[in-house]
């Protein structure tokens, strides 16, 4: 469990109230700015999706159009889970723990949701069952989808040392990264890409962070990397002694297998 000492100025209730009201004014500024930013996000121009993307789903092949499931809006989570990984990225899993409770509300407000990963469907289904998630999750294995939306990278791109991610060229070290993309389908069936976000843009979908941000210790991410890899684990691994590497992959403790079982010594 993360620890951090908290030492704070102690004041009277009247002094606290004055300080709280001053902060409230700043919070209201942020709320109004967020409303403006959200409107500007909705006013972004759109790009027509010309390619017919096909995915592997639990019931067979599905197209991007199928994933709207009769609704006009679709949110895609680009979940970091590459072929052969056996389990998904810890950070993407952390975010995914927040999804199932929102689905009924999204779906009754004309929004569908799906996770997409390059791992083969069998590997996705095994991990999804382990995590107990219910949201729709399909495989883009063999598709250009992840590459076209700049969340997966070829070996040649990795070898070059730079990839295009989060709207900039960055140092390349891993074939999969995370993000979210949004699409709209009009009455004629045409599909448009309306928005994508990456990196810390994912934080807006993680309500655990919102709660931590109002707690006395905050996010309490105090190293070694000063991000979620310092403390977040797959929700079935918090009692284990493993760690998370810089790529968001779980690393089992010595003499413990990835499943959490003790390994026999030869």
Write a three-state SS string for 25-75: HHHHHHHHHHHHHHHHHHCCCCEECCCCCEEEECCEEEECCHHHCCCCEEE
| Range name among 6-10, 201-205, 258-262 with the lowest pLDDT average | 258-262
CA angle, corner 38, sides to 109 and 102, nearest 5? 35
Pick from 86, 78, 173: nearest CA to 127: 86
Are the beta carbons of 90 and 229 closer than 8 angstroms?
yes
Asked whether the predicted pLDDT for residue 259 surpasses 90, the reply is no
pLDDT at 261: 42
* DSSP for 228-257, written as a single string: GGGT---TT-TTS--EE-TTS-EEPPTTB-
Distance, CA of 196 to CA of 179 (rounded, Å): 7
Q: Are strands 73-78 and 179-185 parallel, antiparallel or unpaired?
A: antiparallel
CA 257 distance to own-chain centroid: 26
Higher pLDDT, 4 or 51: 51
Q: What is the mean pLDDT of residues 76-103?
A: 97
Q: What is the pTM of this model?
A: 0.91
Asked whether the predicted pLDDT for residue 24 surpasses 90, the reply is yes
CA angle, corner 179, sides to 239 and 166, nearest 5? 125
pLDDT at 5: 62
Q: What is the mean pLDDT of residues 146-165?
A: 96
- The model's confidence at residue 173, banded by pLDDT at 50, 70 and 90, is confident
Are the beta carbons of 228 and 91 closer than 8 angstroms?
yes
Pick from 47, 68, 1: nearest CA to 230: 1
Higher pLDDT, 123 or 255: 123
Distance, CA of 245 to CA of 203 (rounded, Å): 19
Q: What is the mean pLDDT of residues 8-32?
A: 97
pLDDT at 263: 40
Rg (CA), the chain: 21
């Amino acid at each position: 469990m993360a620890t951090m000492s908290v030492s704070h100025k102690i004041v009277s209730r009247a002094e606290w109230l004055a300080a709280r009201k001053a902060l409230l004014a700043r919070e209201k500024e942020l709320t109004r700015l967020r409303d403006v930013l959200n409107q500007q996000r909705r006013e972004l121009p759109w790009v027509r999706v010309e390619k017919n993307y096909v995915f592997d789903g639990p019931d067979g092949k599905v197209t991007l159009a199928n994933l709207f499931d009769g609704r006009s809006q679709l949110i895609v989570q680009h979940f970091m889970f590459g072929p052969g990984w056996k389990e998904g990225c810890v950070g993407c899993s952390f975010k995914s723990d927040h999804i199932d409770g929102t689905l009924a509300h999204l779906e009754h407000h004309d929004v569908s949701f799906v996770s997409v990963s390059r791992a083969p469907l069998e590997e996705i289904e095994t991990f999804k069952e382990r995590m107990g998630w219910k949201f729709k999750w399909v495989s883009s294995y063999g598709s250009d989808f992840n590459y076209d939306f700049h969340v997966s990278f070829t070996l040649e791109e990795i070898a070059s040392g730079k990839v295009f991610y989060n709207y900039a060229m960055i140092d390349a070290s891993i074939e999969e990264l995370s993000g979210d993309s949004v699409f709209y389908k009009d009455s004629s069936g045409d599909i448009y890409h309306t928005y994508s976000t990456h990196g810390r843009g994912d934080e807006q979908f993680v309500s655990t962070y919102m709660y931590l941000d109002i707690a006395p210790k905050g996010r309490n991410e105090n190293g070694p990397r000063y991000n979620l890899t310092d403390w977040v684990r797959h929700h079935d691994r918090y009692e284990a002694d493993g760690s998370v590497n810089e790529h968001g992959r779980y690393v089992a403790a010595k003499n413990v297998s990835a499943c959490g079982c003790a390994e026999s010594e030869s």
